[in-house]
Amino acid sequence: MKYGKFLTNPWTLVSGIIIGSLIGIFFKPAVQILAPIGNSYIAMLTLSILPMIFLAIILGISKILQIAELRAYLKILVFAFCLGIFIPSTVGILIGMSNHSYRQLSNQTQMQLGQLVKNTEYYPPEKQEKTKSSAIETILTSITPSHVVSVLTENLSVKTIVVALLIGIALGTCHHSPEFEQLSMLMVSVHTIFGKIYKWLITLLPIGMLAIFSSVVSSLNFSLLYALLSLMSSITSACIVVFIIHIGIIRFFTQESIVTILKQLKKPLITTFLVDSTIISIPAAVEACGNLKVNPQLSNAIFPIGIIINRHGNIILLTMISLFIAKFYYINISWQTIFIIWLLSTITSIGSIGAGASLGPILAITLHTITVPIVLAVLIITIVDTLLSRLFSTITISGNCALMSTIVDRKHKVYAYEK
């Protein structure tokens, strides 16, 4: 118990981050030992979280189908999602257009980027055409599960969500059968077991952060950071504005004070930023939503889906890099071009899995539409996402908390968090 209190102390966590950063800067050989430990820690956290998410979706959807009161909330959520998903792209466009400092890169910056272009994966026109011509096939392949076991052994993906939704719908439509209660209780028990494992692992967060931050800091290229500082400053400003809007939305629907809201969101937001994983933060985010008067059954069912399709961090990234590349190539920024960037960056972000260079094909859809080469975009999105991915993950969590706040139940002050 004594060691548990020490490890869960916030100052212990801060100390782990500082020590890890110092190791990454001054003792790089030690990173070779610590990096695998950090990777293993994240893998173990993911191991405990994924079954919880999968079961939470199944149990949540089945409950929603059984209870008419919960079904009524779905219409509100869909409407709020359709409106809210355009908030980050709108902010990204406004800040990107008002900031002229990165409209044209300096010669030195162009030389630095040019030296790295040849090491970047290039998407030639013929490959872009191929991607465009098979877009429907690609989308269907990405969402259609072919093997249940393989889906359950992957990281959280659209296929995982689809399987969980199908099982949840099937379970919800046969709740009158005698086996329903037994199966539901079994799922709840398994969910509780993995929740216990998650609690054990989260206690070791300071040690995991020491190992992770030593690896992250040692891999930073500060010359590239300086070269793209103006772009990243604009993106960071957009994230801050969007975060403020999220807090305003939560304030409007929950009628709680800003201090109370920040206090409740502190744990999921800090965890997301430190671990750089929206998946690992889901239990803390669901608990925070419950404390803000959101039904936990809905939060458990909807939140895992939200971090896949409601990725406000990715929307900001795709919108502002598309605008940046358009300016870099001296494309005439007409209202038509702005509308295309605004619309396609929002739509293509839905269900976008991956980070860095893996977002290149998604970004290519927008850039190909406005006839801009993709080669530099893959490089820039890799650099920016590597350095700011924690911020994008945090904004995605706050965006989904804002979405869930639209269905608060003011008849109850606080919901008990359901394990």
pLDDT, one tens digit per residue, over 267-309 is 899 988 888 878 888 888 988 988 888 877 778 778 888 887 7
User: pTM for the full model?
Assistant: 0.69
CB of 324 closer than 8 Å to CB of 409: no
Size of the chain in residues:
419
pLDDT confidence of residue 243: 96
pLDDT tens sequence across 305-362: 888 778 898 899 888 888 887 776 655 677 888 888 888 888 777 756 555 555 666 6
The reported pLDDT for the residue numbered 415 is 46
Residue 104 pLDDT exceeds 60: no
Six-digit token pair at 79? 């409407």
Per-residue pLDDT of 110-146, as tens digits, reads: 555 555 444 444 444 444 444 444 445 655 666 677 7
User: 236-253, pLDDT tens digit by residue?
Assistant: 999 999 999 999 999 999
The number of beta carbons lying within 10 Å of the beta carbon of residue 106 is 11
Kindly state the tokens that stand for 191: 């969910």
Shortest CA distance to 304 belongs to which of 42, 46, 54?
54
Cα gap 363→128, rounded to integer Å: 11
Q: What are the extents of the domains in the chain?
A: 2-405
d(CA 366, CA 330): 16
pLDDT for the residue numbered 126: 44
How many CB atoms are located within 10 Å of the residue 87 CB?
20
CATH number of 2-405: 1.10.3860.10
Q: How confident is the model at residue 76 (pLDDT cuts 50, 70, 90)?
A: confident
What pLDDT shows up at residue 237?
92
Q: What's the rounded Cα separation, in Å, for the pair 260 and 241?
A: 19
